[in-house]
């Protein structure tokens, strides 16, 4: 017999709520289970959430488990610590979600008793089994190291935890002709200037959306990117052509707070709206590639390298902490590769 059930928290304890009908035979079986209880409010029987009960009754859990009450409290403490340290919104979200997933997996275990071996088991029985990405696996390890250090004063030894080898994936780069087609495709002038600015200055999505008019120094042909990734400011050059486009843009839209605002004045332009604008532009351009905004940033860096810009300057313009991150563009730059003569031509 296969019963459907769901994980519930009853008085701070993880239980299995048994979803059975009013058949007396089912009720008698439910009553006979050790420590079974009737919930008047939920109108169901619930039993201890143990592996034995899951296997014994072939229970099909239809709702994912969640952390214990203690786990939820510690997650909140972790989130507040990240906020106090001014971690970025994306980092806080990804780290707390990673810790939430891990604590849900071990919802039946006392958090103070969790060890390196549990993290290894989570890696093997959850991440690898679900074929989750190597980057997610690394993110989980990083999040858990910090989580246990902050909320439990426990040091997780990263040398004991399996970390995947990073795949060496080349950045996706568009030709200058393809970039031109994309940024000229939108009829909406706001969308056109936004896509142009991403490519013209090598901006990340969040960097573009966080811009204000005060960040543009037209007299010096500079754009200040404030509190970007890693909470760092940086300066990038901006051409006279882009400045003229921005002046025309301001005459039309007269935004109040942000350089790019949505339909409601004073509110920041939405991330999803920007993605939709790009998707529509790519479709109109006729380019049959899964282009993302980051492709424009990759293209900016690669085209700079091909035009002879020193790699150290490109590193500064992109806001990379390590030069190794910037060096990946040397593998997709065509300026030197195209000069290589194939031995096939000599046959």
| CATH code of the domain covering residue 202 | 1.10.443.10
Task: For residues 141 and 111, state if they share a domain.
Answer: yes
Cβ neighbour number for residue 28 with a 10 Å cutoff: 9
pLDDT, mean over the chain:
84
- DSSP H/E element including 303: helix 293-306
Per-residue pLDDT at 119:
84
Q: Is residue 291 part of a domain?
A: yes
Cross-sheet strand order for the sheet of 234-237:
216-217, 222-225, 234-237
pLDDT at 63: 47
Q: 106 and 209 share a domain?
A: no
CATH number, domain at 138?
A: 1.10.150.130
Residue from 6, 191, 205, 320 carrying the catalytic annotation: 320
Q: Is residue 343 in a domain? A: no
Report, as an integer, the average pLDDT of 198-220.
93
pLDDT band at 230 (very low <50, low <70, confident <90, very high): confident
| Residue of 154, 204, 234, 284 marked catalytic | 204
pLDDT at res. 82: 93
- pLDDT for position 62: 47
Specify if 255 maps to a domain. yes
Catalytic, 249? Answer no
- Per-residue pLDDT, 204: 92
* Confidence category of residue 284, pLDDT binned at 50, 70, 90: very high
Marked catalytic residue, from 294, 312, 313, 331: 294
Q: Which of 15, 74, 191, 297 is catalytic?
A: 297
Residue 276: inside a domain:
yes
42 and 73 assigned to the same domain: no
Instruction: Please give the Cα distance from 143 to 141 (Å, whole number).
Output: 5
Q: Are residues 41 and 100 in the same domain?
A: no
Exposed, middle or buried: residue 307 (CB in 10 Å: 0-12, 13-18, 19+)? exposed
In 3D space, the residue among 269, 283, 297 whose CA is nearest the CA of residue 210 turns out to be: 269
Closest residue by Cα to residue 320 from 251, 244, 234 = 234
Beta strands 222-225 and 60-61 are unpaired
Residue 221, by phi and psi: left (phi above 0), alpha (psi -120 to 50) or beta? left
184 located within any domain: yes
The β-bridge partners of 281 are none
Listed residues 22, 38, 61: the one ending a domain: 61
DSSP state of 120: H
98 and 153: one domain?
yes
Examine the residue annotation and report whether 26 is marked as an active-site residue of this protein: no
The answer to whether residues 90 and 200 belong to one domain is no
- Is 294 one of the annotated active-site residues of the chain? yes
Alpha-helical runs (H) found in 58-88? 69-84
Please give the share of the chain, as a percent, with pLDDT higher than 90. Answer: 37
* Residues 255 and 182 reside in one and the same domain: yes
* Residues 182 and 325 reside in one and the same domain: yes
Q: pLDDT band at 121, cuts 50/70/90?
A: confident
Which tokens sit at 12? 């701070």
**Which of 23, 38, 61 is the last residue in one of the domains?**
61
Residues 125 and 243 both lie in one domain = no
- Region of poorest pLDDT, from 143-157, 196-210, 235-249: 143-157
Q: Is the pLDDT of residue 24 over 80?
A: no
Are residues 108 and 230 located together in one domain of the fold?
no
Residue 289: its pLDDT value, please? Answer: 92
Q: Which domain holds residue 287?
A: 176-336
Band of the pLDDT at 184, cuts 50, 70, 90?
very high
Active site residue 64: no
Q: Are residues 119 and 190 in the same domain?
A: no
Residue 341 maps to a domain: no
Read off the pLDDT of residues 294-346 as tens digits, 9 standing for 90 and up.
999 999 999 998 888 888 999 999 988 888 888 888 877 766 666 666 676 66
């Amino acid at each position: 017999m296969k019963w459907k059930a769901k994980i519930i928290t009853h008085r701070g304890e993880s239980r299995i709520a048994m979803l059975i009908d009013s058949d007396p035979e089912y009720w008698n079986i439910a009553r006979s289970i050790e420590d079974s209880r009737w919930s008047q409010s939920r109108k169901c029987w619930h039993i201890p959430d143990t592996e034995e009960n899951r296997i014994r009754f072939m229970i099909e859990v239809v709702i994912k488990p969640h952390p214990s009450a203690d786990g939820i409290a510690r997650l909140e403490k972790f989130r507040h610590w990240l906020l106090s340290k001014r971690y970025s919104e994306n980092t806080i979200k990804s780290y707390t979600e990673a810790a939430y997933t891990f604590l849900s997996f071990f919802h039946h275990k006392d958090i103070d008793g969790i060890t390196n071996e549990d993290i290894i088991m989570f890696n093997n029985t959850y991440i690898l089994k679900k074929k989750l990405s190597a980057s997610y696996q690394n993110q989980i390890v990083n999040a858990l190291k910090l989580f246990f250090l902050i909320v439990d004063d426990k040091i997780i030894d990263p040398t004991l935890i399996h970390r995947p080898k990073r795949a060496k994936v080349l950045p996706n780069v568009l030709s200058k002709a393809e970039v031109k087609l994309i940024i000229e495709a939108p009829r909406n002038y706001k969308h056109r200037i936004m896509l142009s600015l991403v490519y013209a200055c090598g901006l990340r999505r969040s960097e573009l959306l966080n811009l204000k008019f005060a960040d543009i120094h037209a007299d010096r042909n500079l754009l200040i990117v404030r509190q970007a990734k890693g909470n760092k400011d940086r300066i990038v050059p901006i051409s006279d052509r882009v400045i003229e486009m921005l002046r025309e843009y301001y005459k039309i839209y007269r935004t109040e707070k942000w350089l790019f605002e949505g339909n409601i004045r004073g509110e920041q332009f939405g991330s999803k709206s920007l993605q939709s604008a790009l998707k529509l532009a790519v479709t109109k351009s006729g380019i049959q590639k899964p282009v993302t905004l980051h492709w424009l940033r990759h293209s900016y860096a690669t085209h700079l390298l091909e035009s002879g810009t020193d790699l150290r300057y490109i590193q500064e313009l992109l806001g990379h902490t390590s030069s190794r991150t910037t060096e990946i563009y040397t593998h997709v730059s065509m300026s030197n590769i195209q000069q290589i003569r194939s031995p096939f031509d000599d046959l």
